[in-house]
A and B are shown apart, each in its own frame.
Chain A
């Protein structure tokens, strides 16, 4: 099955700095990679996703990059703000598991004033 590793587990940045969270996956046939944000005590919500036929996708201050050769994808947040503080989860769909997502273990991002 798919194995998704996520790093770092915690990340602290100063407001206005950039934050980068990295995930690696084991199944080279994986083709869909979403990122979810979970604020404290709230439900996870999809913030951005990317397919394997695209190398980069941007949405305002958030971007995701995918390196299929190295089997890793990253979330980039620029000009971080206090409201970006949350747990971020990456995920991937394994081969033959098109109806199941495998999640990473999460990154606690703290944006300090």
Chain B
């Protein structure tokens, strides 16, 4: 099993450009998450999907949209990138969301917005 796979690993955008981060898991998990990691601020939840067909906002959802394409895939879209969105983005999955336990993380996407 590959676990949680994210693409791309690195991306540089100009302010105003759009892009989609892709995430897929092969562990048959029900729940998937998108986090951002900034120095000194830990991991902050952007959006999550408790199960296929549902999505909900996390702590810092502004400027992002998500799609739970099917049980395996959960994408994160930046419609108009801003320098404040420069960060490392992690996708994660868990067997269930209530309660959430044992998050499995992808390898991360380093995003720079110039």
Q: Name A's B-contacting residues (CB within 8 A).
A: 6, 9, 31-32, 34, 36, 42-46, 49, 89, 93, 98-106
Other-chain contact of B102, A46, A89, A98 (Cβ < 8 Å):
A46
User: In the complex, what distance in Å separates the CA atom of A105 from the CA atom of B37?
Assistant: 10
A106→B42 CA distance, assembly (Å): 6
| Chain B residues near A104 (CB-CB < 8 A) | 42
Chain A: minimal CB distance from B9 (Å): 11
Select one of B40, B103, B107 contacting A101, CB under 8 A.
B103
- Whether B101 and A44, one on each chain, are in contact in the complex, defined by CB atoms closer than 8 angstroms, is no
Closest to B100 in A: A99
Binds A, one of B20-28, B44-52, B72-80: B44-52
Q: Is the CB of B105 within 8 A of A45?
A: yes
Q: Determine if A100 and B48 form an interchain contact, defined as CB atoms under 8 angstroms apart.
A: yes
A-chain residues with CB within 8 Å of residue B44 when the two chains form the complex: 103
B2 proximity list for chain A (CB < 8 A) = none
- For A49, the chain B residues whose CB sits under 8 A away are 101-102
Check A99–B48 contact: CB distance below 8 A: yes
